[in-house]
């Protein structure tokens, strides 16, 4: 909770003012039963002016209570809103800074629910605390104090019940934190299924797997219902038990007060005021119960939010004293690189190669062979376990992040388009003039189909670009990658949906327009990489062949088999 609550520091002044207003309104409300008892005991039967005076005082207190409570609640809502906005902003920014390994650990659905559901639970608790966290204790303590002065004997009945009430609340709250943590994990699972199904809805329909996905959703939904039911049963016992104990106390107070009035030990007007105070005290105890229930949810959610906010950066800029520069005329160097995702077996083993500025590297291999892993290591989504990667003689672990990532333009396997114009999807928030947008689209062979739209580059894309074809989507992504004129262009299986003619035209355009850019292409098709300066054949995370297209046809059996199986050795230009 400490990590989350630190966001309230900026609002202490507004909270203090709001709480002061709340206190005044609550005290005014607390005085009403006492004034009523005074009217019944001392004013009734006297002059009409006295009755009007004290009646106006009650009306005034009621008006003050109403106006001040409304004002305080509005201020509480604003503080809670701004607090939640600030917290969510940092939480979202932190999720963007998480490394690939950390994102894998948390999972995307879990991060989504932490930003949405968990932050809402914290917001609700902060909002309720400002509304009820002041009013309930004042009503509780103030009511008991006043009733002690009015009739200490009857007050002891209520005081005797309070320890039992708080004992129950504390016990159930302790149980509730773990239960609500499980509930939120179940929410993560449901969000994951919904997210997967929404993204793959067309495939689901095409394969007639709607019923299968319904069953899969039902499984995670039932798990969520089971955990919610378990938490609800435990937490749902609070209010009934509280109500039962308070009703028992009310019955005891009525019985004792009747006896005391009959024996002239108390007065009817005192009993009337006492019962009103007892109602206030009972409602305050119920509010305290609700606060504890909300705190249970908030505590579980705050813990999950803090886990993200407190996650230390694991991809940091390292000192050159630990990873010194090397003298090399090569632009990119992989030196005996080894890496494992799970720490058990190498997903990249003893990878070594070098590229000069402007050369082109092709990486080819079977699905799951480790091609994309090399790209992730080059772009430092993960750090190598052994060996080193150098760009212009600098170990990538020592290059400042802003300078490092500006070197790259990338169109990756799981890249995305968002709901905006084609021009903005290519620009991607960067300071790139419209002329360069058009130029990059021409290089990526996207200009012609974009121009065919009535609104051209202003054509609005749907989320994930579902209103254009797969090949068109890839060309927009390649346009984005080349728009910044990067030093290193990475195309990770980003031409798979292009026909051979368009693929060849793209390669020729890159050769002529970006001759000084080092291009790294990951592909399944030999035709896409055959003109590269260096081709790596990857299998099970190892290089089993390297060289030019002609050299590999002779030296690498697997490459020759891939080439012959795809095109029989012939290529369309």
Mean pLDDT of 317-332: 92
Mean pLDDT of 22-31: 88
Per-residue burial over 426-452, b if 16 or more Cβ lie within 10 Å, else e, is bbeeeebeeebbbbbbbbbbbbebbee
Q: Are the C-beta atoms of residues 84 and 122 closer than 8 Å to each other?
A: yes
Query: Tell me: the pLDDT tens digits for 160-184?
Result: 777 877 777 677 767 766 777 788 7
For residue 569, the model assigns a pLDDT of 46
Query: What is the average pLDDT score of the chain?
Result: 85
DSSP codes, 9-25: GGGHHHHHHHHHHHHHH
For residue 355, the model assigns a pLDDT of 94
For residue 357, the model assigns a pLDDT of 94
Q: Which two tokens stand for residue 136?
A: 């309930």
Beta pairing class for 386-391 and 332-339? antiparallel
pLDDT at 511 over 80: yes
Q: Which two tokens stand for residue 9?
A: 């520091």
Q: Which two tokens stand for residue 159?
A: 């005081």
Distance between CA atoms of residues 211 and 535, nearest Å: 45
- For residue 411, count other CB atoms closer than 10 A to its CB: 22
Q: Which two tokens stand for residue 161?
A: 């019940």
Contacts of 437 (CB under 8 A, 6+ apart): 423, 426, 427, 457, 479, 483
Mean pLDDT of 24-28: 89
Let me know the angle formed at the C-alpha of 19 by 18 and 23, rounded to the nearest 5 degrees.
Answer: 120
- For residue 155, count other CB atoms closer than 10 A to its CB: 22
**Poorest-pLDDT segment among 9-18, 43-52, 422-431, 478-487:** 43-52
pLDDT at 573 over 60: no
Mean pLDDT of 371-395: 93
Mean pLDDT of 528-547: 92
Let me know the angle formed at the C-alpha of 214 by 213 and 217, rounded to the nearest 5 degrees.
Answer: 85
Exposed / middle / buried, residue 103 (Cβ in 10 Å: 0-12, 13-18, 19+): middle
Q: Which two tokens stand for residue 241?
A: 């038990």
For residue 85, the model assigns a pLDDT of 92
Q: Which two tokens stand for residue 477?
A: 């992504």
Exposed / middle / buried, residue 331 (Cβ in 10 Å: 0-12, 13-18, 19+): buried
pLDDT at 56 over 60: yes
Q: What's the pTM?
A: 0.72
pLDDT at 568 over 70: no
Backbone angles phi, psi at 32, to 5 degrees: -60, -50
Alpha helices in 151-209 (DSSP H): 152-199, 201-206
Q: Which two tokens stand for residue 402?
A: 């802003």
- The domain segmentation of the chain, as residue ranges, is 2-309
Distance between CA atoms of residues 465 and 422, nearest Å: 9
Per-residue burial over 217-235, b if 16 or more Cβ lie within 10 Å, else e, is eeebbebbeebbeebeebb
CATH code at 2-309:
1.20.1560.10
For residue 434, the model assigns a pLDDT of 92
- Answer with the residue of higher pLDDT: 165 or 66: 66
pLDDT at 286 over 80: no
Using a pLDDT cut of 70, give the percent of the chain over it.
97
- Collapsing DSSP states into helix, strand and coil, what is residue 427? helix
């Amino acid at each position: 909770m400490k990590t989350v609550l630190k966001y309230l520091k900026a609002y202490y002044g507004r909270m203090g003012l709001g709480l002061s207003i709340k206190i005044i309104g609550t005290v005014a409300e607390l005085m009403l039963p006492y004034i009523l008892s005074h009217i019944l005991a001392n004013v009734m039967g006297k002059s009409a002016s006295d009755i009007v005076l004290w009646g106006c005082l009650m009306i005034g207190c009621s008006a003050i209570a109403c106006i001040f409570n409304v004002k305080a609640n509005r201020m509480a809502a604003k503080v809670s809103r701004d607090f939640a906005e600030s917290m969510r902003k940092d939480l979202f920014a932190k999720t963007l800074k998480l490394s690939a390994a950390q994102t894998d650990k948390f999972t995307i659905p879990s991060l989504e629910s932490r930003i949405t559901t968990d932050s809402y639970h914290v917001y609700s608790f902060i909002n309720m605390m400002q509304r009820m966290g002041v009013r309930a204790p004042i009503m509780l303590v103030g009511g008991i104090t006043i009733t002690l002065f009015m009739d200490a004997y009857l007050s002891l009945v209520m005081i005797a019940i309070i320890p039992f009430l708080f004992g129950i609340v504390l016990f159930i709250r302790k149980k509730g934190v773990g239960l609500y943590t499980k509930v939120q994990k179940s929410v993560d699972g449901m969000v994951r299924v919904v997210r997967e199904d929404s993204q793959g809805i067309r495939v689901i329909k095409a394969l007639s797997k709607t019923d299968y996905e319904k069953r899969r959703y039902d499984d995670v939904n039932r798990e969520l219902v089971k955990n919610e039911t378990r938490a609800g049963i435990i937490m749902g016992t609070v209010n009934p038990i509280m109500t039962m104990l308070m009703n028992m106390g009310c019955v005891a107070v009525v019985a004792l007060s009747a006896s005391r009035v009959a024996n002239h030990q108390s007065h009817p007007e005192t009993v009337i005021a006492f019962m009103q105070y007892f109602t206030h005290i009972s409602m305050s105890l119920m509010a305290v119960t609700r606060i504890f229930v909300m705190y249970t949810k908030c505590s579980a959610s705050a813990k999950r939010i803090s886990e993200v906010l407190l996650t230390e950066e694991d991809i940091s800029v390292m000192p050159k004293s630990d990873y010194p520069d090397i003298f090399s005329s090569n632009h990119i160097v992989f030196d005996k690189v080894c890496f494992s995702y799970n720490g058990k077996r190498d997903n990249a083993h003893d990878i070594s190669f070098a590229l000069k500025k402007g050369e082109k590297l092709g990486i080819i291999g079977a699905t799951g062979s480790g091609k994309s892993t090399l790209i992730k290591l080059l772009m430092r989504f993960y750090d190598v376990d052994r060996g080193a990667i150098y760009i212009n003689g600098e170990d990538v672990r020592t290059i400042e992040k802003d300078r490092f990532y500006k070197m790259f333009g990338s169109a990756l396997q799981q890249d995305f388009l968002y709901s905006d114009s084609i021009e903005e999807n290519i620009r991607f928030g960067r300071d790139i003039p419209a002329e360069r947008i058009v130029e990059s689209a021409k290089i990526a062979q996207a200009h012609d189909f974009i121009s065919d739209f009535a609104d051209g580059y202003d054509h609005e894309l749907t989320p994930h670009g579902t209103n254009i074809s797969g090949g068109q989507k890839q060309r927009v992504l390649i346009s984005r990658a080349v728009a910044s004129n990067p030093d290193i262009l990475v195309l990770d299986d980003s031409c798979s949906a292009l026909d051979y003619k368009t693929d060849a035209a793209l390669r020729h355009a890159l050769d002529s327009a970006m001759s000084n850019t080092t291009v790294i292409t990951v592909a399944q098709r030999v035709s896409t990489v055959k003109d590269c300066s260096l081709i790596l054949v990857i299998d099970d995370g190892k290089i089993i062949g390297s060289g030019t297209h002609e050299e590999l046809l002779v030296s690498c059996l697997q490459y020759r088999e891939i080439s012959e199986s795809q095109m029989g050795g012939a290529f369309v230009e």
